Amino acid sequence: MTVSTPYSYLDGQELDPLGHNKNIYSPTPGEGIMSEANGGLDSSNLHAGFKVRSEHVWPEEVCRGRQEFVLDTADVFSNGCSDAGGETAQTVAGNYRPLAGTSLRVYIPYDVNVALWEWSFFLSGYRILIESGISALGNRQYEMSIRARLNGTALPHTARSVPISAKLAIEDSTGTGTKRKVHDKIVLEQKNAMQWDMNHMALDVTAGWYTLDLTAYMHPVVDPQETENEGILNATLERVVGTHTKEFFHKFYQRLSLGIRNVRLLTIL
């Protein structure tokens, strides 16, 4: 508020203590050279040409940047995920699991206009597609997808499927409808390795703690006719051991591998 000094000192007149005191400090708004400086200065006290310069601004009071990252590779396997919900298990919220190294928890100390969350991650997935004349397996893709969540709430627009990279041709070598054999296999995981950079912008965010994390879901590679091994597909596959090529039974899983990844937050007042 504009500073005023109500008392005037005039030559030849007796000094008025009360008037002098008001010039120095007064509870009346605007009065006194000490009063307004005690937290009362506003835009009317600024010089007409005053403009905020960078040195006037307390650090990170307008823009803030935060970041976490992980360099080490992480392999996540499908046996860490539930198939509760059957064929639509990926729609069950609790089935998504957080991925190590793709979380950022921050305290935003004041209300901001925008909070731009960004996350980058290098991924390659061993995601299985089965082609088979066996009706129980049929022509089946096993879900593998990622999705971000903010403060525990899923962000549906961030859901992405991971490309299919392993194609298994499975036949019934006995004709009984029970024994599975991988007749052929094409793996193109290396061709599907990519870095994805995604984001989510939250608007008019109030001060507080916030957490963004990336989650993934991988449907277990189940065989409806399999009664053991938690229903995981069990099929023979040729392996080279020493000088021999032999068929062994194997259980099949999916894998999502994460390379270098980071999560970033930009907030602007």
| Distance, CA of 127 to CA of 123 (rounded, Å) | 12
132 binds other proteins (CB under 8 A): yes
50 binds other proteins (CB under 8 A): yes
Task: Identify the H or E element spanning 21.
Answer: helix 17-24
- In the complex, the smallest distance separating the C-beta of residue 85 from other proteins, rounded to whole angstroms, is 15
* Residue with Cβ nearer other proteins (65 or 224): 65
Q: Which residues pair with 195 in a beta bridge?
A: 122
Residue 120 CB: number of other CB atoms within 10 A?
16
Count, residues near other proteins per rule CB under 8 A = 132
Angle ∠(97,103,109) on CA atoms, nearest 5: 135
Question: Which member of 28, 174, 178, 199 binds other proteins (CB under 8 A)?
Answer: 199
Nearest to 189 by CA among 167, 160, 168, 165: 165
72 binds other proteins (CB under 8 A): yes
| Distance, CA of 79 to CA of 210 (rounded, Å) | 29
Q: Which stretch binds other proteins (CB under 8 A): 92-100, 198-206, 209-217?
A: 198-206
124 binds other proteins (CB under 8 A): yes
* Residue with Cβ nearer other proteins (70 or 222): 70
Which tokens in the block code for residue 10?
């005039």
Q: Which stretch binds other proteins (CB under 8 A): 70-78, 92-100, 208-216?
A: 70-78
| Distance, CA of 156 to CA of 90 (rounded, Å) | 12
97 binds other proteins (CB under 8 A): no
142 binds other proteins (CB under 8 A): no
Which residues in 209-238 contact other proteins (CB under 8 A)?
Answer: 229, 234, 237
CB within 8 Å of 228: residues ≥ 6 apart: 234
61 binds other proteins (CB under 8 A): yes
Q: Which stretch binds other proteins (CB under 8 A): 92-100, 180-188, 209-217?
A: 180-188
Angle ∠(42,34,15) on CA atoms, nearest 5: 135
Question: Which member of 93, 105, 122, 231 binds other proteins (CB under 8 A)?
Answer: 122
* Residue with Cβ nearer other proteins (40 or 86): 40
| Distance, CA of 100 to CA of 215 (rounded, Å) | 9
